Amino acid sequence: MTPTRLITRAIRRPRSIIPPLRRPVLLRLGGQRSNTTDSRERPTATATPTDSRKKERDNRFAKLTPEDVAHFRSICSVLSAESDEIEAFNTDWMRKYRGQARLVLKPKSTADVSEILKYCNSRSLAVVPQGGNTGLVGGSVPVYDEIVISMNAINSIRSFDPVSGILICDAGVVLETADNYLADQGHIFPLDLGAKGSCHIGGNVATNAGGLRLLRYGSLHGTVLGVEAVLPDGTILDDLSTLRKNNTGYDLKQLFIGSEGTIGIITAVSIICPSRPSAQNVAFFAVNTFEKVQEAFIRAKRELGEILSAFELMDDTSQRCVAQVTGKKRPLEGEETKFYVLVETSGSNKEHDDEKLEKYLMASMEDETIADGVLAQDETQARNLWSWREGIPEVCGHWGGVYKYDVSIPLKELYSLVEDVKARLIEHGLLGEDKPVVDVLGFGHIGDGNLHLNVPVRSYDRCVEEALEPFIYEWIEKRSGSISAEHGLGVAKREYVQYSRGETALGVMRSLKNHFDPVRPASPIPTQHHIAHALAERNHEPIQIHQNINPEF
């Protein structure tokens, strides 16, 4: 980056160089890439969430026999119950969900996955596909004794065409590996998220990960061109097109994007990758009201338009938490405002981008849309500004535990949820210095209408849970929002899907699941455990398994 640049009096330099908390890669062109797993320490939870929804194992599923294990050994390498390594496959990253799988399968090819599923289907053995296991809703770990199908060993980059920018890779390729590979070719993976050092591309697609730059590169439904998947009965569906346009019948791959592994296991993905932007800028500014945040967003879309790659909101509470836990000085001096915004631009011409961003900030200061702001002068400063956004999830666990909600709400009312939840917890006498709840805070991707509501607590408490749920879900339902913006349903949200999808839609989903994986109540032969459980237990919600989740929460 340019070492110096024109900064107006109004827009000041960052006060200090803040050490990065969790920012994996900000300016990746030619820079060293850190692995997010390094900094993704597990939360030091001293409290355990209550699990009032524990259910019995569905005994329509067969129990694993020595003959089954012997058969699987003839297909691929396995980890059995005796192995110490099996623990890591039984627990999610948050240590919130734990299964009792006694077998982990490590197929090396699509054909292996096909053989495995075919056999499991015939034996009514329950399975759970697992990618990078970075999910947050308990979708990538077993809940009972399901067989884990790990995608770790199916991890080749199959091809890349530098003219069209189309990459074909196996499901088990780690997102960062793919992005590093693309960087060498002057391209960028059109998805970026905090877990990129661990999460798999197959899992990203299976869970329709959103991440940090959806605003710029759009959703995976638009960028994924094809998938190869193995259906529950072992059939290999080759829909691995490398064509941007192909209107020859139903776009089947779309069904697998976001279906969380419930109708098949994705084994390969074809995706269109844009040219890597050569310039990246970051600004951080203070805003007094949520109305002004919206005004700043409208102006950013208009004036930064094609180079706008992130527009992130952080409330003051979240910033105070980061400052308190990390002991760092905040980027902006002076009076605290209620909101802070991080704007990132990515473009092909540094000078043009600088000019656009400076003009944007000046105009916003002049008409008082924003109260104060800083512009990063180099990559270190940019990373530091990002750390005030990306550090939030980690510091929220500081006091013992945290309740997390990843929701979509029409923009106008997006922040009201934080205020209403806070008021409710105060009203219930649950928030305060000697109370279970530390505070209520909100942050997220304004550009996507995606709010992360976090409630840090000193201990997990049934009273807090009862105050939060179903209140939050009902609140969201009233505004036609989504109870899961980007994390998916997993086991955490399976009971609440009806707050976000209508009866007809749920009926169609259920019928599609039965169609792909015919679980008959009389004599079910399911391969995907959670689904069958859910279908047996309740009527509303057929989606429970996924491979991997975006932890940008």
Q: Binding to a copy of itself (CB under 8 A): which residues in 235-254? A: 235-239, 241-252, 254
Q: Which stretch binds a copy of itself (CB under 8 A): 33-41, 66-74, 383-391, 503-511?
A: 503-511
**Residue 248: which residues within 8 A CB-CB, separation 6 or more?**
none
Among 412, 478, 520, 538, indicate the residue that binds a copy of itself (CB under 8 A).
412
| Residues numbered 464-493 forming contacts with a copy of itself, rule: CB under 8 A | 480-489, 493
- With contact defined as beta carbons under 8 Å apart, do 39 and 21 qualify? yes
Q: Which helix (H) or strand (E) holds 160?
A: strand 157-161
Among 314, 506, 519, 532, indicate the residue that binds a copy of itself (CB under 8 A).
506
Q: How far apart are CB 224 and a copy of itself at their closest, in Å? A: 9
Q: How far apart are CB 525 and a copy of itself at their closest, in Å? A: 17
Among 218, 334, 429, 432, indicate the residue that binds a copy of itself (CB under 8 A).
218
DSSP 275: B
Strand 127-130 relative to strand 147-150: parallel, antiparallel, unpaired? Answer: parallel
Rule CB under 8 A: say whether 404 interacts with a copy of itself: no
Phi and psi of 406, rounded to 5°? Answer: -115, 100
**Interaction mask 109-128, a copy of itself, x per CB under 8 A:** --------------------
Rule CB under 8 A: say whether 538 interacts with a copy of itself: no
| Residues numbered 3-32 forming contacts with a copy of itself, rule: CB under 8 A | none
Nearer to a copy of itself, 384 or 547 (CB): 547
CA atoms within 13 A on the CB side of 32: 3
Q: Which stretch binds a copy of itself (CB under 8 A): 38-46, 87-95, 390-398, 403-411?
A: 403-411
Q: How far apart are CB 355 and a copy of itself at their closest, in Å? A: 7
Among 258, 331, 400, 456, indicate the residue that binds a copy of itself (CB under 8 A).
258
DSSP 370: S
Rule CB under 8 A: say whether 271 interacts with a copy of itself: no
Place of tokens 């015939």: 122
Q: How far apart are CB 6 and a copy of itself at their closest, in Å? A: 16
Rule CB under 8 A: say whether 163 interacts with a copy of itself: yes
Q: How far apart are CB 93 and a copy of itself at their closest, in Å? A: 18
Nearer to a copy of itself, 100 or 349 (CB): 349
Name the token pair of 417: 């949820």
Rule CB under 8 A: say whether 302 interacts with a copy of itself: yes
Lateral strand order in the sheet of 265-272: 157-161, 166-170, 265-272, 224-230, 236-239
Q: Which stretch binds a copy of itself (CB under 8 A): 174-182, 206-214, 332-340, 386-394?
A: 206-214
Place of tokens 């905040």: 330
Strand 450-457 relative to strand 441-445: parallel, antiparallel, unpaired? Answer: antiparallel
Lateral strand order in the sheet of 279-287: 11-12, 372-375, 279-287, 339-347, 308-315, 441-445, 450-457, 401-408
Cis-peptide, bond into residue 518, ω within 30° of zero: no
Helices H, strands E: what count in the chain?
19, 17
Name the token pair of 509: 């989903």
Phi and psi of 224, rounded to 5°? Answer: -75, 125
Rule CB under 8 A: say whether 165 interacts with a copy of itself: yes
Among 164, 368, 423, 432, indicate the residue that binds a copy of itself (CB under 8 A).
164
Among 36, 133, 134, 500, indicate the residue that binds a copy of itself (CB under 8 A).
500
Among 114, 140, 198, 408, indicate the residue that binds a copy of itself (CB under 8 A).
408
Nearer to a copy of itself, 222 or 429 (CB): 222
Helix intervals (H) in 247-378: 253-256, 290-303, 316-326, 350-366
Nearer to a copy of itself, 106 or 487 (CB): 487
Among 386, 302, 307, 387, residue whose Cα is nearest residue 345: 307
Nearer to a copy of itself, 401 or 449 (CB): 449
Q: How far apart are CB 116 and a copy of itself at their closest, in Å? A: 18
Amino acid at 325: V
Q: Which stretch binds a copy of itself (CB under 8 A): 30-38, 84-92, 197-205, 441-449?
A: 441-449
| Residues numbered 49-88 forming contacts with a copy of itself, rule: CB under 8 A | none
| Residues numbered 448-467 forming contacts with a copy of itself, rule: CB under 8 A | 448-450
Count of residues that bind a copy of itself according to CB under 8 A: 94
Lateral strand order in the sheet of 127-130: 77-80, 103-106, 147-150, 127-130
Name the token pair of 99: 């299964």
Place of tokens 């290999």: 236
Q: How far apart are CB 500 and a copy of itself at their closest, in Å? A: 4
Q: ∠ CA 502-504-508 to the nearest 5 degrees? A: 115
Q: How far apart are CB 275 and a copy of itself at their closest, in Å? A: 5
Rule CB under 8 A: say whether 541 interacts with a copy of itself: yes
Rule CB under 8 A: say whether 502 interacts with a copy of itself: yes
Q: How far apart are CB 255 and a copy of itself at their closest, in Å? A: 6
Rule CB under 8 A: say whether 505 interacts with a copy of itself: yes
Place of tokens 């976090």: 454
Nearer to a copy of itself, 355 or 367 (CB): 355
Q: Cα separations (Å) of 105 from 62, 81, 117, 148, 263? A: 17, 12, 11, 6, 19
Among 126, 195, 257, 283, indicate the residue that binds a copy of itself (CB under 8 A).
257
- With contact defined as beta carbons under 8 Å apart, do 58 and 544 qualify? no
Phi and psi of 364, rounded to 5°? Answer: -70, -35
Which residues lie across from 161 on neighbouring strands? 166
| Residues numbered 330-369 forming contacts with a copy of itself, rule: CB under 8 A | 346-349, 352, 355-356
